Amino acid sequence: MNTNQCRQVIYHPQLNCTTTTLNESEYYITSDGRLYLNNTQRLLNQSEYTRDSQGIISICVKNNTTFMPKYSTAEHYITYVGLIISIPALAITIIAYLCIPDLRTLPGKLLISLLSALLVAELLFLISFQITPSTVLCISSAVVMHYSFLATFFWMNIISCDTWYTFSGLTQIRNIGKGTKRLVLYSLYAWVCPLVLVTVSLIFEYIPRRHELSPGYGNGTCWITNRKSLQWLFAIPVLIILCLNFIAFILTARGIYLTGKLSSKYLSKHNKDEFIACIKLFFIMGLTWISAFLYTFTSIEEFSLLFCILNSFVGLFICISFLSTKTVRRSILRNLHKITKFSTKEPIVSSTEQSMDISTKASD
């Protein structure tokens, strides 16, 4: 039976709308006084609800807990299924890049770092649904998730810039900075910059006087619950990185054109693969979060569904894109050939030794 059909609906002059009351199990009041609706996972400002002398909460009918976004049920299942598939897919991709020698190049190591950050973020995102809001575990998960998602984009920025550097006219200079030194510099940028942003967020969160950019980690949900903080400490940095990545790809395409449309002496098969891999990442990650920004600014539910699908299955898309290349297939076949060749050697050696033993015994 749907008890929501029996709710009393009255006009409330203070809110200037038709209102209904909520049961205590249907909401949660955050530390900053906002109302979190458990069913729809929406946050209402203090001006969007009232509390009478008996503590009963009233909200506008349009914000009622019976209201569900158009794709909320579908998104719920898509997210769970997508993450359950994506997390193992990311792990498989990381293991493949660690185990196949041909993939342990500098671009391969950069990709491993990006996928590691994304794996942590996706895993925490999946677990966060089962964590009680406002607990230490929920707050900690939100902080680490914030850091991991930011690190993913900073590593994407590194990969984009390194690809541009490969196809720029700085090829000879680039050779000087090869190896561990460049990887260390890249790592400092990609791991420290997100740490700075998260540290600033924590300062805003725990200063004595509440700041307008206080993230509200874990208030009602294990993520950033303050919209303004989410905008300045996550969305804007991500948007800037996406723009920088786009510029890097334009410059890379120009560099390829100037070097003879992939036929110059500067361009090797390895460089081509590096550029193609970068395009795949830009398309997968870029399209995912562009759809999120489009939904934010347009409120078109179709963009929300698109973001849900792309974000949930991002690990699967990356796994298919990067493990279906000729390089990976050749490496797997080569390793299988070595294993087969090694296994067939054993009986031959044994037969030879057995023949020698027989001939020795015959001579005796």
Mark whether 30 and 148 lie in a shared domain.
Answer: no
Round to whole Å and give the CA distance between 232 and 342.
58
pLDDT the model gives residue 364: 52
Round to whole Å and give the CA distance between 77 and 234.
25
Does residue 336 sit within a domain?
Answer: no
For CA atoms 233, 185, 112, 162, give the dihedral sign.
Answer: positive
Tokens 């903080």 — which residue?
229
Domain membership of residue 51 as a residue range: 9-60
**How would you class 107 by CB atoms within 10 Å of its CB: exposed for 0-12, middle for 13-18, buried for 19 or more?**
buried
Q: How many domains does the chain have?
A: 2
pLDDT the model gives residue 259: 63
Q: The tokens of 71 are what? A: 């794709």
Round to whole Å and give the CA distance between 40 and 73.
10
pLDDT the model gives residue 348: 47
Show the DSSP H helices in 101-179 as ranges.
106-128, 136-167, 171-176
- For 262, left (φ over 0), alpha (ψ -120 to 50), or beta? left
Does residue 41 sit within a domain?
Answer: yes
Round to whole Å and give the CA distance between 180 and 185.
9
Does residue 356 sit within a domain?
Answer: no
The CB density around residue 145, as the number of other CB atoms within 10 Å, is: 22
pLDDT the model gives residue 16: 62
Mark whether 247 and 269 lie in a shared domain.
Answer: yes
Mark whether 99 and 179 lie in a shared domain.
Answer: yes
Mark whether 179 and 231 lie in a shared domain.
Answer: yes
Mark whether 46 and 128 lie in a shared domain.
Answer: no
Round to whole Å and give the CA distance between 144 and 120.
8
Q: What angle do CA 265, 270, 272 make, to 5 degrees?
A: 75
- Kindly write down the DSSP assignment for every residue of 324-351, as one continuous string: SSHHHHHHHHHHHHHHHHHHHHHHHHHH
For residue 72, what are the CA distances in angstroms to 77, 79, 117, 219? 9, 10, 27, 21
Tokens 């090694």 — which residue?
342
pLDDT the model gives residue 300: 82
Beta bridge partners of 36: 28, 43
pLDDT the model gives residue 65: 38
Beta bridge partners of 58: 21, 50
The H or E element spanning position 43 is strand 42-44
pLDDT the model gives residue 111: 95
pLDDT the model gives residue 73: 72
Does residue 100 sit within a domain?
Answer: yes
Mark whether 34 and 177 lie in a shared domain.
Answer: no
pLDDT the model gives residue 170: 54
Mark whether 41 and 164 lie in a shared domain.
Answer: no
Q: What is the signed CA dihedral for 180, 181, 186, 187, rounded to 10 degrees?
A: 60
Q: Which of 60, 85, 101 is the last residue of a domain?
A: 60
Does residue 289 sit within a domain?
Answer: yes
Q: Could you give the angle at which helices 106-128 and 136-167 cross, rounded to 10 degrees? A: 160
CATH number, residue 84: 1.20.1070.10
Q: What angle do CA 111, 104, 169 make, to 5 degrees?
A: 70
Mark whether 215 and 315 lie in a shared domain.
Answer: yes
The CB density around residue 283, as the number of other CB atoms within 10 Å, is: 12
Mark whether 291 and 259 lie in a shared domain.
Answer: yes
How far is Cα of residue 177 from the mean position of the Cα atoms in its chain? 29
Does residue 88 sit within a domain?
Answer: yes
Does residue 270 sit within a domain?
Answer: yes
Beta carbons within 8 Å of 239's beta carbon, 6+ residues apart: 293
Total H helices, total E strands in the chain: 11, 7
Q: What is the pLDDT along the chain (364 residues), one digit of tens a residue?
A: 344 444 555 555 666 666 777 777 678 788 778 788 766 667 787 777 888 877 788 887 655 433 334 446 778 889 999 999 999 999 999 999 999 888 888 889 999 999 999 999 999 999 988 888 778 999 999 999 999 999 999 999 999 998 888 777 555 444 545 568 889 999 999 999 999 999 999 999 998 877 788 898 987 788 998 888 998 999 999 999 999 999 998 888 887 777 655 454 545 555 666 677 778 888 888 888 888 888 877 778 788 889 999 999 999 999 999 988 887 888 878 877 777 776 665 554 444 445 555 455 555 5
0.85 cut: is pTM over it? no
Does residue 352 sit within a domain?
Answer: no
Mark whether 174 and 31 lie in a shared domain.
Answer: no
Mark whether 78 and 224 lie in a shared domain.
Answer: yes
Q: Cβ distance 160 to 168 under 8 Å?
A: no
Mark whether 229 and 263 lie in a shared domain.
Answer: yes
